[in-house]
Structure 1
Amino acid sequence: MSDQSLEGAAALVTGAGGGIGAATARRLAREGATVALLARRRDRLWQVASDIADLGGHAVAVEADLTEPERADDAVQEALDRLGRLDILVNNAGVMLLNSALHTTLDEWDRMVSLNIRALLHVTHAAVPHLIYAASTSPRQVADLVNVGSTAGRAARPGNSVYSLTKAGLNAFTESLRQELLGERVRVSVVEPGAVDTEPMNHLGGAVRETPGALRAEDVADAIGYVVTRDRRVAVDQMLVRAGGRSW
């Protein structure tokens, strides 16, 4: 049971076209939030919005490539214009391209840095003032910023050097931002899943592509839903979520 209803709250979820993002959007909608879905593919966004409507919720689709700073800022503003406010931001957009330094390309490394780090910064910078305003004006008296990290941010393994770099950096960024926004009643959290059976797993090579016993996207969405529905006296700063039968 949730401590705090999200009725009347507005949430923005990046990477909401599928996987963890779509599952999180559906979970927040079930808790009562209106959700802005942000991703590059319009067809997928409309499908998720339709799923949420079937659940009795409401979602709007915002198509954007977040690796472009101006478009990221415009996308946050579009979400704000259509929802009227912004109480929750879930930074979920990301990509995992695993390979050794010998065999990868600089383009693959750049793609991970662009989406996993630069897009995160663009969206966060645009959203923070609106989260602060929401915390001071909403019945919840709190706002939430949740970054989706990874166990790779804690333990580097062969083939995931730059992916781990981006997720370790996300952890440091999240902790610093958490301390900065304490006085503004904006809770900043990181949820770090282990292996999840979602589309990013298709970017893995070899036998790693098969993920028996992996988490489901809904498992991570449940964790995010738990974080943002705590009473305002409670802040869940970090949550590490692994599949019961896996070591990572």
Structure 2
Amino acid sequence: MTKELEGTVALVTGASSGIGAATARKLAREGASVALIARRGDRLEKVVRSIVDEGGTARAVVADITTRAGADAAVEQVVAAFGRLDVLVNNAGAMLIGPFADAPEGEWERMVEVNVLGLLYMSKAALPHLIEAAGAEPRRTSDLVNISSSAGRVARPGTAVYNLTKFGVNGFTEALRQELQAARVRVSVIEPGNVDTELASHTREELRPGVEAQVAAIEKLQPEDIADAVAYIVTRKRRVAVNEVFVRAADQSW
């Protein structure tokens, strides 16, 4: 039985853990050759081995995508290795929670670097290859999927700069969707709610108890839940474009 992504190549950023790792595994199961990008090479290699052990094809690319040179080099390495690029999943993200007035400026800068600049650099580097793939077999379409957040829909105290970046991702995604529609590059955004990943652990130690208390009663989403949403988007027939998926934990009210 032919898999939906057989003969295609997918690239996932932030793929050393959490949503990125789960997405890479899921797309490999759908038949894609998968390139995994992150800064932690040892963690990447573990995910790659898990994919290969299941019979998939995967490659680790250690890169810092918050620079234009790093993103360009990463994409070129993937295309040189696999010959094409059909799917880009911009998953890499930083979430550093805390009141704006007290937050170190380095936290703002990190979120803007990863959530905005990294996504822009990767999108820019990948676009020529996605456009080329959209005109070719096996699918005659390609996909760019941005992982945003429920924080791109709902603003809350303590997440002001994170909200800024994720609201921006949502707006960028919609504008880019319209720009690339005629080229058959489908541009989509997924907005996960509370997911059980290490992202929240990056918050300053003194703020973590308060953050954890806010979500203590919520049965969190699992990374695989978001990976399923990515796979649903990119395995649709050419005539179908799923532009936006908002996935909250069932217990989450905001």
1:177 and 2:176 matched: yes
User: If the length of structure 1 is used for normalisation, what is the TM-score?
Assistant: 0.97
What is the SS of the residue equivalent to 1:20? Answer: helix
1:239 and 2:242 matched: no
Structure 2 counterpart of 1:145:
144
| TM-aligned CA deviation for residue 207 of structure 1 | 3.4
Matches within 5 A, 1:27-38: 27-38=26-37
Structure 2 counterpart of 1:9:
8
Q: Give 5+ residue unaligned stretches, structure 2.
A: none
Give the RMSD, CA atoms, in angstroms: 1.2
| TM-aligned CA deviation for residue 203 of structure 1 | 2.4
Structure 2 counterpart of 1:216:
222
1:155 and 2:158 matched: no
| TM-aligned CA deviation for residue 208 of structure 1 | 2.1
Structure 2 counterpart of 1:167:
166
Amino acid at match of 2:39: R
| TM-aligned CA deviation for residue 209 of structure 1 | 2.9
Structure 1 counterpart of 2:189:
190
Runs of 4+ in 1 over 6 A off after TM superposition: none
Amino acid at match of 1:125: K
CA distance in 1, matches of 2:198, 2:80: 30
| TM-aligned CA deviation for residue 218 of structure 1 | 0.4
**Counterpart among 205, 209, 212 of residue 206 in structure 1:** 209
Structure 1 counterpart of 2:111:
112
CA distance in 2, matches of 1:7, 1:101: 46
1:84-128 Cα offsets, whole Å, 9 max, x none, are: 100000000010000001221000000000000001010100000
1:58-99 Cα offsets, whole Å, 9 max, x none, are: 100000011121111100100111111000000000100000
Q: Confirm or deny: 8 A CA contact 2:194 2:249 kept in the other structure.
A: yes
| TM-aligned CA deviation for residue 8 of structure 1 | 0.5
Structure 2 counterpart of 1:52:
51
1:175-228 Cα offsets, whole Å, 9 max, x none, are: 010000000000000000001010102124223236441100000000001000
1:123 and 2:129 matched: no
Amino acid at match of 1:19: G
Q: Confirm or deny: 8 A CA contact 1:202 1:209 kept in the other structure.
A: no
| TM-aligned CA deviation for residue 129 of structure 1 | 0.6
User: If the length of structure 2 is used for normalisation, what is the TM-score?
Assistant: 0.94
1:229 and 2:232 matched: no
CA distance in 2, matches of 1:217, 1:23: 6
What is the SS of the residue equivalent to 2:135? Answer: helix
CA distance in 2, matches of 1:47, 1:82: 19
Q: Confirm or deny: 8 A CA contact 2:192 2:248 kept in the other structure.
A: yes
What is the SS of the residue equivalent to 1:157? Answer: coil
Give the total of aligned pairs. 246
1:82 and 2:71 matched: no
Q: Confirm or deny: 8 A CA contact 1:152 1:163 kept in the other structure.
A: yes
CA distance in 2, matches of 1:136, 1:234: 16
Amino acid at match of 1:225: A
Amino acid at match of 1:107: G
CA distance in 1, matches of 2:75, 2:249: 33
CA distance in 1, matches of 2:244, 2:100: 30
CA distance in 2, matches of 1:183, 1:238: 18
CA distance in 2, matches of 1:160, 1:56: 41
Amino acid at match of 1:164: N
CA distance in 1, matches of 2:32, 2:150: 28
Q: What percentage of residue pairs aligned between the two structures are identical?
A: 57
